[in-house]
Amino acid sequence: MEYELTVLVHPDRESALEKALDTVRELVKSSGGKVKSEDNWGKKKLAYKIKKQDFAFYVLMEVELPPAAPLKISNALNISDDVIRYLLVKVDEKERSRIAEAKKNAGDDSEEESRDRDGS
């Protein structure tokens, strides 16, 4: 099953960010899953303090996991010193395809509008 795993890495781990992310990647692999993609959003200000921190490194990973893995990953991330917060959610394939279709249709509409304005 596909999941999105968003991790907020402790800001003090800036010099060892890759090591912290390797730990998360290894956790996914050891749970029988695989990381399909990864998007590092960089250091961002938090909306509120988490563990006395104002900033964190945001990293979004799309992962594929077997059914028992989310619990194992959650338990490990709960006690991790590197990760101050995480969110692991199951991807809704119907919703993903609906959004992709809506984006496609929005792109088609904007092309038609630009043709209408140009008089073509």
pTM of the model: 0.76
Per the CB < 8 A criterion, the answer to whether 94 and 14 are in contact is no
pLDDT attached to residue 107? 72
Residue 61, sorted as left (phi over 0), alpha (psi -120 to 50) or beta, turns out to be beta
More reliable by pLDDT, 104 or 35: 35
Quickly state the pLDDT bin for 1 (edges 50, 70, 90): confident
Topology (CATH) of 2-91: Alpha-Beta Plaits (3.30.70)
